[in-house]
Every structure is written in structure tokens, then in C-alpha cells.
């Protein structure tokens, strides 16, 4: 079966062979996004399709109910709220992980039938700034380029984009181009794996991108490197932009000083850019997630318009999408700020959409954007909210407030694939959705390519497709006429028809988002639909837009938009002197509801961390690996310190992934301020003023059990759960006195059964191993002053069918038999190769990444660990040098 990966916006094709509930996956060699490659997350899809933890029946509170009961309750409560408080008293919060069909159905119900604009998507946290920048520049939310441009380019600029980790398969394609002479410039305050080994890394001060890109444009103008001909024929607004640039000192020295980069590096960047017509500028969350998100996008696009580097092979500004179907949501109208099909709330678009839908009550105006939507729930304006395929209690900024908002909201519905998420705990009704591999539909990737996700398994339990859940509720609300679809192909066909509906030629105000030839698609053709890039014409897909220099604006010209450099919403200050940056790690996906099921994906970075420069850590007595408090005006978290000069002094970084279920005190988003870009509503996830302090635990321990545990109630602990192959490792530490420790111990220990126990009052150490028959059931270690033994050895004992006598002795003495085996963190998740094996290969003489790959397999699949292997080689060289 050929389908598409459910993770990032690269949109790789997957070839999957289901066997019962198991799955063997490979990259689809024919898919034009990946030509057979997959990254670590795609390769591990087989480990995430089990039914463990799934929600398989509708629930009202903790009561299992039938579908009609759940559907009727949701319909009744939404209708009641609308009758009493009007359509704007209800809201949907949806997700780029819905399929296009799901998105289309949810949007149609809210904007066409309920009659409110209150449907917004988590793409608000992700793509909203780029959407606004596109609309300002091109007249519509259009991504000009395609993946092939990334290979044809001679220069690729990564702006706030850690592609090596977040779009690994595309990054591999660009690395291959680099071997043929392509150059890479990375603009990111951190030295990421994308920056490792690039041609130039500009570690700019946080939030100085606009200054940098404006400085570049001014420099290009000074050099005469702008394309006056292109601008005269196809671009408006150049004079206004030049006037804006004149408001500040644009000399390279001034720009370099403000951006905090060496002048020589800045000049090199300017020179490279000026001399390379085939340039692609990728921009991602380092650009979008900012109170200057729209301005950053505009500043980048301005440079490309001024140089005519757009609509040509190997040249364009390229906003890359995060989620598998972030684009589908932007197309169908999942955002509160647009109506549907790239049509907004103005006339004649609104009347047209209403006519097409036969809508009884078309929304009059844009609805609430994500952050405002939850504020409205907190203040009591929203009486009923339905959350689909997103986990806002983890992923929205100022997350404690989101939890309060859901608590305050009289009626909360959550559609999810998992039974328990940090968000679903606050749901009055939980609706079981079909997961990847069970559902059927389409997604659009970063290059406007529509691909099919296909069903591989029979629907488990009573789970249903998201579009169908929406259609059932719509029907129960009395809107049967608009929602009578029986299969996703019918939803898709209706959607395709909307894109083509009254869609004139571009010159007459037509829309480029047009799936014309697919409007008559039959269920069979839908089944076989091959990946295709919109606009879809009789000739097929369209890889590249604006090749004729014509833009969908009234005068056919693109717009340059004047933007001024500003600081972030809140500057660092005496109380909070550091800038807290947040983002992704290589092997986890967002809130870990799926990647957290794959132990191989949990070993690269097993627990929450805070990366910090030695100059900031040392004065505070924070050493590598030490538990560290991170505090902001919003809240506090505790994470282990990664002390590293890959971080800029003055900035710290935390991954966004950990949740209540995995690390209640290690979550980033209770810390993040909810400052948003005034035009896009996108939060400034990349900057919150913060401070750090050593945690200084008085005791610590770990606990291995077959099941995952949450921390004992009432205890003030730093608790982290780390999935292992046959058990769950829980690490914890506390600052309380002996009584608190004793309470924790009591909660974890078993009441009955075989136990091996040892206590050493001198070091405050205790260990217990509980055995069930011949198998290990639980292991507990505590210490105040002593050392804790390696965990990997213990975790592996859970895999054994029966413990040997030697195992039992080792458990009793608390040390592994023979040499301590510490299998260590994972380097290569695809081939399951850990640090010690790579180090051993290097010690045996492997001096290149390829040699290590040949010896161990590491780095030979998706390649996203290659920068890390290179670092281990360099580190070994340094050690040998020093010796
Ligand atoms: N492994 C993995 N891959 C993913 C995801 C995942 O969860 N895990 N999620 C997907 C999704 S939804 C998304 S949106 C994408 C995101 O993909 P990326 O945007 O690549 O990911 P982030 O780590 O959020 O942020 C990118 C970089 O922005 C930098 N940055 C911070 N502040 C600034 C600044 O002021 N200026 C500049 N120029 N850079 C700055 C950060 O240091 C960080 O390295 O990834 C997708 N791919
Ligand atoms: N601090 C910080 N916070 C951030 C970011 C950051 O960089 N820093 N990035 C932001 C960005 S770019 C994004 S995209 C968001 C992502 O944040 P979220 O959208 O909250 O993260 P996910 O874990 O992907 O949530 C998806 C949910 O949908 C469920 N699910 C999976 N498949 C299906 C399905 O088919 N149907 C249904 N109904 N449910 C399903 C999953 O179990 C999970 O609960 O996080 C944002 N938050
Ligand atoms: S790069 Fe990885 S996560 Fe993204 S679509 Fe491809 S396989 Fe999936
Ligand atoms: Mo995202």
C-alpha cells in the first residue's frame, strides 16, 4: 500500500505492508517528495500503530456511551449555546494533522451552518505569520517554489529553520546538492545540526532577523544587485520600502552590531547573496513564531522580489510547513481569518461560498484566533469548544492558563486518537478518531503537493474518521442536507468543486488554488490519486508559481512591504536576563502522543533539557547534567542542563515536547509568554525573558516498572518517564526531607511478593527488586549521598523471560555482573546505534562519518544523525590531541 507519512510537511510517500496490526514500512521510491527515503520518525511508524493507549469508544466523562448518545449530546449542547448566546459563543480548535476532508467538513459546519468564524487551527502557532506575509506580497497565501528548487539552487539560506532535524528528508536532498557545490547559510541564534558544517552560520541575537534582511536589501541596492527590470514590470511598493530603509543606519557595521554577528561574516553573507542568482531562502519557526513574524516573512520576500529571484528554477522565498497538512488547513479555511478555498469574508467571495454551500447562515467576519479563543473560554464568552487533533494544554503558550480556560468552559469536546492526553483530561466528551493507517483522505505538503493517506488497517473499536464525526454532529444539529457524504472521495470532490467554483482566469480576479480537473473525480480515481501539485490544470500539476511574473493582485504585480526592525514584545531585564527559546528535537513529534510509544525514538534525548552557554551556567554553579530550574514571569520548569557553546550567551533553549504524562515539571509552555504578532496572531514561542537556577536536589532515585507511572500525588518531585523496550524508567529527585522520601518510597513499593532489598543508612541508599515468578516486576533505587547504578542493564533485565542466579546476585549488590554496560543514548534511531558503539568504532580507527556508518550502520538510513557522528569524531580527535 502506498500512503503518506503523518509527521512533517515534507510529506514523504510511504510504502507499507500491514500484517495484522503490525506494519513494515519503507520509503516510497516513486514519491516525488522523498524518492524512497524516510527519516527516523517515518521509519519508526511501525512501532506506533499498536492500540496501546488508544481511545476506542465515545466517552461522556468516564462513561462509555454509544455514538448516537455522544453525537446527540454534542449537537444539543452546541445548539443550546448558540440559541442562548449566539453563534460566536461556540468554537472549534482544529489541527494541521487533520486530513483535508476533515478540515473541509469542520470549516463548512462552523462558517457555513453555525454561522461563526470561530474555527482556528494550531497552524496559528505555526504558519500564520507566513500566511499573512504571502497574502501581503502575492495577494493570496501562495508558496511560490517546489522541492526541485532546493536542489537547483546554488545557495540555500535557512532562516530559523533546523531542517536537519525537522525536515530531515529534504535536508538530505540539499546535502546531496551541497556535495555538487551548493552552499548553505544558516541564520539561527543556536548552532544547530543544520548549522554544523554549513558554509556560514550567522548566530544572530534573538529576534534581529528583520534588521538583517533589511540590511541585506540595502546592501543589494548599494551594490546595484537588484533587478530593476523585474521590479519595474512586476513589483509595486519598492519606493516605499527604500524610504523605510532610509530611516535606519543600514551600514554593514551597524547591522552587524545590532544583530550581534561579526562584521566579516555579515559581509560574506551579503556578498554570497549578491553573487548568487539561484538562491532559495527557507524560513520556518525562527521566523514565524515571533511578534515580528509577519515582518520577518515580508523582509525575506522583499529581497527576493527586489532581485527577481522568484518564479525561476532554483530561486524563491520558501516558507516550509511543519505539519503534514498545515497546507490543507490553509486551503480549506481552517484558519479563523479566512473563509474557505482562499476566499475571505469580503464580497463577492462570501456570497459565492454561501451559494456553493447552500449555507443558511454564512459567517460575517473572521473569528477568534487561537490565543484569543482560549482567552474567551477563560472569560466565559465561549460556552462550548471542540478540540480536534491537537493538544493545546501542551502546545499553546502560557499553558497553565489554557488548562484554566478548559476548566472554565462549560462544555469541552475532544476528538483524539489517544484516550488520555493533557487536554482530554478536561473534556466532558471524548470522541475516538481513526489514526494514521486507519483513515483515508488527502494532505498537502510544503510544495503544494496533494497526496493520499490510505487506510492500511480496519477501524479499531468504534473509532471513526474525523470528517464523519463532524458530519454526524452537523446532521444531529439539523444540517443533514450539507453533510450527507458517505465516503471521503465525496468530500474531496465537493472540496475540489469549491476551488473551481466561479473561478475565472487570473486576469479577472481568479484564484490560483484550483483543483479544476479533479472536480469530477470518481471514487476509483480518488483511490488511485497520484501526488499532484496545485494549481491542477488539464496538463497536470504546477510545480512553480509566478513563472510569468504575474501575481493574483488587482494590478497583477507583487507587493514589497516596508518593515521596520523592532525588538521582541518583552525585552530581557534584570529579573529575567536570559532569552528562552523553544523548539523541536530530532526524534520526537510535538506532544509525544505517538513518538512516545516508540522506545527507539525516546533514547536520543531521553528527558527534558535546557541548553545553556557555559558563560551563563558557570557563575550559577550549573554543571552539565544538573537539574536546573528555568523560571519566567509565567511559570517554572525543571530540566537537566546541557552546558554547551552551541548556545548563544544570554539565550537558553528548551524542547517543546514533554507533557504531564512524561515529565510534569519539564514542560516548556507554562513558561512561554502569550505575546502574539498583532497581524497574524502567532505567538512568540522563540523568546520569553527567563532566568535559571541550580535545583540542588537533596535526594534522587529511579524506578523501573512494566507500566508507566505518574508521580505519587502530593509529592513535590522532579519526575520523568522514559519508555524502554520492555519497561518504563522513571527518574526522580526531590528537595524535601526524609519524610517526603519515605512517602514516595511507600507509594512505589509493592505490598506483597518476592523482594530483594538492601539499605545503607550511611549514604541514604535503598534498593528493592520485586520479582514475579521468574521475571523482574519492579526495581527501586534511592540515594541521598551515594551513586546510582547504570539503568540500561536493569532495563534490559525486564526483557529476560527468566532471571538467572547471576542476575539475582547482581540485583542484590546493585551492580551489573562484570563490566558495567551502559548502552548510552541513541545516536542513530533508524539503525538503533548508541553512543558507545560509535565511540568504539572511532577508537578502532573509523575517521569519517561514512566509515562509522560502514562499521556500525549509524547514519546510513535517513542520515539525520550524521552531524552528530561528525561531532563525536571531532571530539575524539580533540581528546587524542590533548593527550
Ligand atoms: N523532529 C521533528 N520534526 C518536526 C516536528 C517535530 O515535532 N519534531 N514538527 C514539525 C512542525 S509542526 C514544524 S512547525 C516544523 C518546525 O521546524 P523548525 O522551524 O525547523 O523547528 P524549531 O525547532 O521550532 O525552530 C527552528 C529554529 O529557529 C531558531 N530560532 C529561534 N529564535 C530565532 C530568531 O530570532 N531568529 C532566527 N533566525 N531563528 C531563531 C531556533 O533556535 C530553532 O533552531 O518542524 C516539523 N518537523
Ligand atoms: N514552546 C513551543 N510550543 C509550540 C511550538 C514551539 O516551537 N515551541 N510549536 C507550535 C507548533 S508549530 C505546532 S504545529 C504545535 C503542535 O502542537 P499540537 O498540535 O498540540 O501537538 P500534537 O502532539 O501533534 O497534537 C496532535 C494531537 O492529535 C492527536 N491525533 C493524532 N492523529 C489524529 C487524528 O487523525 N485525529 C484526531 N482527532 N486526533 C489525532 C494526537 O494524539 C495528539 O493528541 O505546537 C506549537 N507549540
Ligand atoms: S521527513 Fe520524516 S517525518 Fe517528515 S514526512 Fe518524511 S519521513 Fe515523515
Ligand atoms: Mo508546526
Residue 847 Cα, ligand 1 centroid: separation in angstroms?
A: 31
Q: Are 26 and 15 in contact (CB under 8 A)?
A: yes
Record the cell numbers describing residue 669, joined without a space. 509552555
Residue 327 Cα, ligand 4 centroid: separation in angstroms?
A: 11
Residue closest by Cα to atom 17 of ligand 2 = 395
pLDDT digits (tens, 9 = 90+) for 669-710: 999 999 999 999 999 999 999 999 999 999 999 999 999 999
d(CA 748, CA 778): 9
Which ligand minimizes its atom distance to the CA of 862?
3
Residue 192 Cα, ligand 1 centroid: separation in angstroms?
A: 10
d(CA 78, CA 229): 56
- Reported for 106-110, long-range contacts at CB under 8 A and 24+ positions apart, including other chains, are 106/334, 106/388, 106/466, 106/467, 106/470, 107/332, 107/333, 107/334, 107/340, 108/340, 108/357, 108/359, 108/482, 108/483, 109/470, 109/473, 109/474, 109/477, 109/479, 109/482, 109/483, 110/363, 110/367
Residue 75's pLDDT band (cuts 50, 70, 90): very high
Residue closest by Cα to atom 1 of ligand 3 = 169
d(CA 663, CA 638): 9
State residue 819's pLDDT score: 63
Report the range of poorest mean pLDDT among 193-197, 273-277, 733-737. Answer: 733-737
State residue 821's pLDDT score: 59
Q: Does ligand 2 lie within 6 Å of residue 122's CB atom?
A: yes
Task: Tell me the best of 261, 322, 325 to mutate to test the pocket of ligand 1, counting ligand atoms within 8 Å of each CB and taking the most.
Answer: 322
Residue (of 14, 3, 21, 23) closest to 42 by Cα position? 14
pLDDT digits (tens, 9 = 90+) for 629-668: 999 999 999 999 999 999 999 999 999 999 999 999 999 9
State residue 317's pLDDT score: 98
d(CA 723, CA 709): 11
Q: Is the pLDDT of residue 20 over 90?
A: no
Q: Does ligand 2 lie within 6 Å of residue 632's CB atom?
A: no
d(CA 234, CA 549): 6
For residues 212-238, give the mean pLDDT. Answer: 98
All residues with CB under 5 Å from ion ligand 4: 126, 322
State residue 753's pLDDT score: 83
Residue 41 Cα, ligand 3 centroid: separation in angstroms?
A: 7
Residue 713's pLDDT band (cuts 50, 70, 90): confident
Q: Are 60 and 428 in contact (CB under 8 A)?
A: yes
Residues of the chain with pLDDT > 90: what percent?
83
Residue 366 Cα, ligand 4 centroid: separation in angstroms?
A: 22
d(CA 864, CA 304): 29
Report the range of poorest mean pLDDT among 142-156, 261-275, 759-773. Answer: 759-773
**Structural domains of the chain, ranges and CATH numbers in brackets:** 2-32+35-47 (2.20.25.90), 59-125+325-533 (3.40.50.740), 128-319 (3.40.228.10), 578-694 (2.40.40.20), 699-813 (no CATH), 826-882 (1.10.10.1100)
pLDDT digits (tens, 9 = 90+) for 109-132: 999 999 999 999 999 999 999 999
Q: Does ligand 2 lie within 6 Å of residue 443's CB atom?
A: no
pLDDT digits (tens, 9 = 90+) for 316-366: 999 999 999 999 999 999 999 999 999 999 999 999 999 999 999 999 999
Residue 877's pLDDT band (cuts 50, 70, 90): confident
3 state DSSP class of 139:
coil
pLDDT digits (tens, 9 = 90+) for 572-625: 999 999 999 999 999 899 999 888 888 888 888 889 999 999 999 999 999 999
Residue (of 409, 328, 359) closest to 97 by Cα position? 328
Q: Is the pLDDT of residue 279 over 90?
A: yes
Residue 822's pLDDT band (cuts 50, 70, 90): low
For residues 440-448, give the mean pLDDT. Answer: 97
Distances (CA, A) of 213 to 590, 686, 820: 30, 18, 53
Ligand 3 neighbours by CB, cut-off 6 Å: 5, 7-8, 10-12, 34, 38-39, 41-42, 167-169
pLDDT digits (tens, 9 = 90+) for 81-104: 999 999 999 999 999 999 999 999
Task: Tell me the best of 391, 457, 686, 690 to mutate to test the pocket of ligand 2, counting ligand atoms within 8 Å of each CB and taking the most.
Answer: 391
Q: Does ligand 2 lie within 6 Å of residue 395's CB atom?
A: yes
Half-sphere exposure (Cβ direction) of 308: Cα atoms closer than 13 Å? 14
Read off the pTM: 0.96
State residue 536's pLDDT score: 94
Average pLDDT, the chain: 94
Residue 307 Cα, ligand 1 centroid: separation in angstroms?
A: 27
Which ligand minimizes its atom distance to the CA of 186?
1
Q: Does ligand 2 lie within 6 Å of residue 97's CB atom?
A: yes
Q: Is the pLDDT of residue 820 over 80?
A: no
* 587 CA closest ligand 1 atom index: 1
Q: What is the DSSP letter of 94?
A: E
Residue 284 Cα, ligand 4 centroid: separation in angstroms?
A: 9
Q: Does ligand 2 lie within 6 Å of residue 393's CB atom?
A: no
State residue 219's pLDDT score: 98
Amino acid at each position: 500500500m502506498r500512503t503518506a507519512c503523518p509527521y512533517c510537511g515534507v510529506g514523504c510517500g510511504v510504502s507499507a505492508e500491514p500484517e495484522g496490526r503490525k506494519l513494515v514500512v519503507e520509503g516510497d521510491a516513486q514519491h516525488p517528495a522523498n524518492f524512497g527515503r524516510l527519516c527516523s520518525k517515518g521509519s519508526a511508524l511501525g512501532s506506533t500503530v499498536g492500540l496501546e493507549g488508544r481511545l476506542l469508544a465515545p466517552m461522556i466523562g468516564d462513561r462509555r456511551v454509544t455514538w448516537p448518545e455522544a453525537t446527540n449530546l454534542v449537537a444539543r449542547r452546541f445548539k443550546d449555546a448558540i440559541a442562548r448566546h449566539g453563534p460566536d459563543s461556540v468554537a472549534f480548535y482544529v489541527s494541521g494533522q487533520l486530513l483535508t476532508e476533515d478540515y473541509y467538513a469542520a470549516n463548512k459546519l462552523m462558517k457555513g451552518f453555525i454561522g461563526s468564524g470561530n474555527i482556528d487551527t494550531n497552524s496559528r502557532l505555526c504558519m500564520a505569520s507566513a500566511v499573512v506575509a504571502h497574502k501581503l506580497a502575492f495577494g493570496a497565501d501562495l508558496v511560490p517554489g517546489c522541492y526541485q528548487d532546493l536542489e537547483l539552487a546554488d545557495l540555500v539560506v535557512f532562516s530559523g529553520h533546523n531542517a536537519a532535524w525537522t525536515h530531515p528528508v529534504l535536508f538530505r536532498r540539499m546535502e546531496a546538492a551541497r556535495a555538487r557545490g551548493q552552499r548553505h547559510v544558516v541564520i539561527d541564534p543556536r548552532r544547530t545540526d543544520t548549522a554544523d558544517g554549513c558554509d556560514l552560520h550567522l548566530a544572530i541575537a534573538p529576534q534581529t532577523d528583520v534588521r538583517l534582511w533589511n540590511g541585506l536589501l540595502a546592501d543589494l541596492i548599494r551594490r546595484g544587485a537588484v533587478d530593476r527590470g523585474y521590479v519595474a514590470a512586476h513589483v509595486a511598493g519598492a519606493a516605499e520600502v527604500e524610504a523605510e530603509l532610509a530611516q535606519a543606519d543600514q551600514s554593514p557595521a551597524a547591522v552587524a552590531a545590532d544583530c550581534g554577528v561579526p562584521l566579516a561574516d555579515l559581509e560574506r553573507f551579503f556578498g554570497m547573496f549578491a553573487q548568487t542568482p539561484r538562491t532559495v531562502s527557507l524560513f520556518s519557526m525562527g521566523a514565524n513564531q515571533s511578534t515580528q513574524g509577519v515582518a520577518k516573512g515580508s523582509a525575506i520576500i522583499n529581497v527576493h522580489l527586489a532581485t527577481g529571484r522568484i518564479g525561476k528554477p532554483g530561486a524563491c522565498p520558501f516558507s516550509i510547513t511543519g505539519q503534514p497538512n498545515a497546507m490543507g488547513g490553509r486551503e480549506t479555511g481552517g484558519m479563523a481569518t479566512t473563509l474557505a478555498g482562499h476566499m475571505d469574508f469580503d464580497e463577492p467571495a462570501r456570497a459565492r461560498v454561501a451559494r456553493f454551500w447552500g449555507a443558511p447562515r454564512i459567517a460575517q467576519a473572521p473569528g477568534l484566533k487561537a490565543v484569543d479563543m482560549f482567552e474567551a473560554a477563560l472569560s466565559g464568552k465561549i460556552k462550548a469548544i471542540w478540540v480536534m487533533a491537537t493538544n493545546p494544554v501542551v502546545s499553546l503558550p502560557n499553558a497553565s492558563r489554557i488548562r484554566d480556560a478548559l476548566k472554565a468552559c462549560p462544555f469541552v469536546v475532544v476528538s483524539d486518537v489517544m484516550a488520555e492526553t493533557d487536554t482530554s483530561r478536561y473534556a466532558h466528551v471524548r470522541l475516538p478518531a481513526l489514526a494514521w493507517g486507519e483513515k483515508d483522505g488527502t494532505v498537502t505538503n510544503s510544495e503544494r503537493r496533494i497526496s493520499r493517506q490510505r487506510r492500511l488497517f480496519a477501524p479499531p473499536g468504534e473509532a471513526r474518521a474525523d470528517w464523519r464525526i463532524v458530519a454526524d454532529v452537523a446532521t444531529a444539529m439539523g444540517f443533514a442536507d450539507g453533510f450527507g457524504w458517505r465516503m471521503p472521495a465525496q468530500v474531496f470532490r465537493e472540496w475540489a468543486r469549491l476551488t473551481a467554483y466561479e473561478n475565472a482566469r487570473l486576469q479577472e480576479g481568479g484564484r490560483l488554488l484550483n483543483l479544476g480537473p479533479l472536480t469530477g473525480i470518481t471514487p476509483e480515481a480518488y483511490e488511485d490519486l497520484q501526488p499532484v501539485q496545485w494549481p491542477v490544470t488539464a496538463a497536470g500539476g504546477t510545480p512553480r508559481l509566478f513563472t510569468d511574473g504575474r501575481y493574483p493582485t488587482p494590478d497583477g504585480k507583487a507587493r514589497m512591504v516596508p518593515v521596520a526592525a523592532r525588538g521582541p514584545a518583552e525585552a530581557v531585564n534584570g529579573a529575567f536576563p536570559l532569552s528562552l527559546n523553544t523548539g523541536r528535537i530530532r526524534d520526537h513529534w510535538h506532544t509525544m502522543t505517538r513518538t512516545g510509544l516508540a522506545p527507539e525514538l525516546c533514547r536520543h534525548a531521553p528527558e527534558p533539557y535546557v541548553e545553556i552557554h557555559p558563560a551563563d551556567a558557570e557563575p550559577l554553579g550549573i554543571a552539565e547534567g544538573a537539574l536546573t530550574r528555568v523560571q519566567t514571569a509565567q511559570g517554572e520548569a525543571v530540566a537537566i542542563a546541557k552546558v554547551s557553546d552551541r548556545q548563544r550567551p544570554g539565550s537558553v533553549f528548551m524542547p517543546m515536547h514533554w507533557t504531564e504524562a512524561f515529565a510534569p515539571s519539564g514542560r516548556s509552555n507554562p513558561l512561554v509568554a502569550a505575546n502574539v504578532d498583532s497581524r497574524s496572531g502567532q505567538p512568540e514561542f522563540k523568546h520569553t525573558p527567563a532566568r535559571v537556577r541550580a535545583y540542588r536536589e537533596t535526594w534522587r532515585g529511579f524506578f523501573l516498572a512494566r507500566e508507566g507511572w505518574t508521580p505519587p500525588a502530593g509529592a513535590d518531585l522532579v519526575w520523568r518517564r522514559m519508555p524502554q523496550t520492555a519497561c518504563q524508567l522513571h527518574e526522580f529527585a526531590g528537595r524535601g526531607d526524609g519524610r517526603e522520601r519515605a512517602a514516595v518510597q511507600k507509594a512505589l513499593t509493592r505490598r506483597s511478593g518476592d523482594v530483594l532489598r538492601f539499605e545503607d543508612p550511611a549514604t541514604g541508599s535503598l534498593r528493592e527488586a520485586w520479582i514475579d515468578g521468574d521475571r523482574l516486576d519492579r526495581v527501586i533505587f534511592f540515594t541521598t549521598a551515594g551513586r546510582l547504578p547504570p539503568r540500561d542493564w536493569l532495563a534490559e533485565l525486564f526483557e529476560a523471560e527468566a532471571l538467572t542466579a547471576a542476575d539475582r546476585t547482581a540485583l542484590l549488590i546493585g551492580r551489573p555482573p562484570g563490566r558495567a554496560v551502559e548502552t548510552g543514548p541513541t545516536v542513530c534511531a533508524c539503525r538503533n546505534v548508541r553512543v558507545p558503539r560509535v565511540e568504539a568504532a572511532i577508537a578502532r580507527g573509523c575517521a569519517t562519518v561514512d566509515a562509522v556508518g560502514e562499521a556500525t550502520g549509524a547514519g546510513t538510513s535517513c542520515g539525520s544523525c550524521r552531524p552528530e557522528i561528525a561531532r563525536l569524531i571531532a571530539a575524539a580527535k580533540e581528546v587524542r590531541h590533548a593527550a
